[in-house]
Amino acid sequence: MALPTLARGSLVLLLVMALAPAAHAATPAELLAGYSAQAAAPASPERGQRFFKTNHGQDFGWSCASCHTADPAQPGKHAISEKAIAPLAPAASAKRFTDASKAEFHFRLNCKDVVGRECSPGEKADVLSWLLTLKP
């Protein structure tokens, strides 16, 4: 028996939601828990800091710190456009990592630019775990 189009769409949406626990996060800690669960491994702030500061050798030789600064509790600036960027650390910018879809959008966009691919859930968890240790 074929499901009506609307039912199939709802089923797909439910499956996506079930497979993407990070998509429901309302706090940075919930988002971190979702990424860690997807990675099936605990996050490491040390790995996150190393990943954040590493030049990944893409087109412009950027690291995350190229725009977000080596201290992401401070404001940054886009390396090309020089557009101001609010601090990335949640303790310094209360809205950071409180909107899961926005976090995913920026991880996808920036990881492709900096790393040359999408970041893994483990890499996201590591970076976020490090950012959560930073104070303004």
pLDDT at 86 over 90: yes
pLDDT at 17 over 60: no
pLDDT at 99 over 60: yes
Give the three-class secondary structure for 19: helix
Give the residue-averaged pLDDT of 20-24.
49
Q: Dump pLDDT digits (tens) for 111-136.
A: 998 999 999 999 999 999 999 999 98
pLDDT at 15 over 80: no
Dihedral angle of Cα 13, 19, 24, 29, to the nearest 10 degrees: -170
Give the three-class secondary structure for 54: coil
DSSP symbol at 71: S
List all residues 6 or more positions away from 26 whose beta carbon is below 8 Å from its beta carbon.
Answer: 98
Please report the sign of the dihedral spanned by the C-alpha atoms of residue 91, residue 95, residue 99, residue 102.
negative
Name all domains of the chain by residue range, CATH numbers in brackets. 25-131 (1.10.760.10)
Closest to 119 in 3D by CA, of 61, 47, 27: 47
pLDDT at 35 over 50: yes
What are 87's two structure tokens? 């601090």
Identify the pLDDT of residue 7: 45
Identify the pLDDT of residue 136: 86
Q: How far is CA 119 from CA 6, 30, 94, 108, 112, in A?
A: 32, 18, 23, 7, 8
Confidence class for position 61, pLDDT limits 50, 70, 90? confident
Beta strands in 45-119, from DSSP E residues, in sequence order: 76-77, 84-85
Tallying the residues shown for the chain, one arrives at 136
Residue 7, judged by CB atoms within 10 A of its CB (0-12, 13-18, 19+), counts as exposed
**Ranges 5-9, 51-55, 91-95: which has the least confidence:** 5-9
- Mean of pLDDT over the chain: 84
As a whole number of angstroms, the distance between CA 22 and CA 16 comes to 11
Confidence class for position 80, pLDDT limits 50, 70, 90? confident
Identify the pLDDT of residue 4: 52
